[in-house]
């Protein structure tokens, strides 16, 4: 009886050790998406009245949990009964990541202005309009989260697809939990950083105190921090996409064999992204010309 209990505990310890090791591998593979997820959600959770930022973020977080509850069972069923579909979805996700990364690189090189609705600053906004605006942004954020969550889950699943199903479920669930709790926890800290800075500035009536300097630093650092996260996320997106192609497509696996892996994967991701981006830009250009002015 005792020996059976010790054997069970040993099996559990071995399983947990495998899960910890594979979770580290999966976390590295999904780091680019997590960085992009962080940057996107930091942008979507900002721009509200300070006392509404956290309630809005909490609503988005709950939507993210629901997204994971929908995606995870479907992913595990595919892994159990149609493992080839996981690889196909992984490569398709890689194409999307490469396209998204190349589009962001183009935006960095050739920035263009996005159309914004004109707002009458003298018009009084009712509470109902504010609530409708919040619901619209929350819905948009949850939709974006669903797309990113599919990518995170499939990439994480791709790193453990050859492992036992129990290990797959535990590892991917850990990554999914990290993608929700970790990302939205950091987003909460980021979007409140400027508010904390303003409170430090207003802490006392004297000028140029330590609290004033730290407060101004936090306020000025927020937009810079979001841009840095976006830049790092873009590079990581292309690296993740290049890694997917390099490990799952024979042609790319044998391409540039003497080059360092990180440079090879970045160039493959960027190259495939450009190939995906060009026809989409042409289509958008043709459609914009055909639309009546």
Q: What is the pLDDT of residues 116-153, one digit of tens each?
A: 444 444 455 666 766 777 788 788 778 777 877 887 88
pLDDT value of position 275: 94
Per-residue pLDDT for 244 more than 80?
yes
Per-residue pLDDT for 271 more than 90?
yes
pLDDT value of position 267: 93
- Length of the chain equals 293
Asked if residue 116 belongs to a domain, the reply is no
**Mean pLDDT for the chain overall:** 76
pLDDT value of position 274: 94
Per-residue pLDDT for 241 more than 70?
yes
Mean pLDDT, residues 208-215 taken together? 82
Query: 3-state DSSP call for residue 130?
Result: helix
Per-residue pLDDT for 270 more than 90?
yes
Per-residue pLDDT for 102 more than 70?
yes
Phi, psi of 201 (to 5 degrees): -65, -40
Asked if residue 117 belongs to a domain, the reply is no
Mean pLDDT, residues 176-199 taken together? 80
pLDDT value of position 268: 93
pLDDT value of position 160: 78
CA dist., res. 291 & res. 76, Å (int): 44
pLDDT category at 23 given cuts 50, 70, 90 is: low
Asked if residue 228 belongs to a domain, the reply is yes
Per-residue pLDDT for 208 more than 80?
no
Nearest to 33 by CA among 180, 162, 142: 180
Asked if residue 118 belongs to a domain, the reply is no
CA dist., res. 260 & res. 4, Å (int): 49
pLDDT > 90: percent of the chain: 6
Q: Are 191 and 53 in contact (CB under 8 A)?
A: yes
Mean pLDDT, residues 140-168 taken together? 78
Structure tokens at 169: 């479920």
pLDDT value of position 278: 92
**C-alpha to C-alpha distances, 4 to 1, 7, 8, 14, nearest whole angstrom:** 5, 5, 6, 15
pLDDT in tens, 44-95: 666 566 667 778 888 888 888 898 889 889 888 888 888 888 788 888 888 8
Asked if residue 86 belongs to a domain, the reply is yes
**Domain interval for residue 195:** 2-111+123-290
Q: How many domains does the chain have?
A: 1
């Amino acid at each position: 009886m005792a020996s059976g209990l010790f054997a069970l505990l040993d099996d559990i310890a071995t399983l947990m050790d495998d899960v910890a090791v594979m979770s580290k591998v999966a976390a590295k593979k999904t780091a680019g998406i997590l960085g992009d997820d962080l940057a996107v959600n930091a942008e979507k959770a900002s721009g509200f009245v300070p006392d509404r930022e956290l309630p809005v973020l909490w609503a988005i977080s709950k939507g993210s949990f629901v997204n994971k509850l929908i995606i995870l069972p479907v992913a595990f069923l595919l892994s159990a009964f149609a493992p080839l579909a996981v690889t196909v979805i992984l490569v398709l996700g890689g194409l999307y990541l490469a396209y998204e990364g190349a589009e962001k690189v183009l935006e960095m090189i050739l920035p263009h202005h996005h159309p914004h609705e004109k707002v009458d600053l003298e018009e009084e906004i009712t509470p109902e309009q504010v609530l409708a605006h919040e619901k619209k942004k929350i819905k948009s954020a949850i939709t974006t989260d669903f797309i990113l969550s599919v990518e995170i889950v499939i990439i994480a699943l791709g790193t453990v697809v050859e492992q036992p199903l129990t290990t797959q479920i535990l590892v991917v669930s850990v990554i999914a939990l990290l993608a929700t709790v970790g990302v939205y926890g950091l987003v909460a800290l980021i979007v409140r950083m400027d508010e904390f800075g303003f409170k430090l500035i207003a802490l006392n009536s004297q000028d140029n105190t330590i609290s004033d300097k730290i407060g101004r630093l936090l306020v000025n650092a927020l937009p810079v921090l979001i841009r840095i996260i976006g830049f790092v996320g873009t590079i990581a997106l292309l690296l993740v996409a290049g890694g997917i192609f390099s490990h799952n497509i024979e042609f790319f696996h044998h391409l540039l064999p003497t080059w360092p892996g990180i440079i090879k994967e970045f160039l493959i991701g960027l190259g495939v992204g450009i190939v995906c981006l060009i026809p989409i830009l042409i289509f958008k250009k043709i459609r914009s010309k055909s639309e009546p002015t």
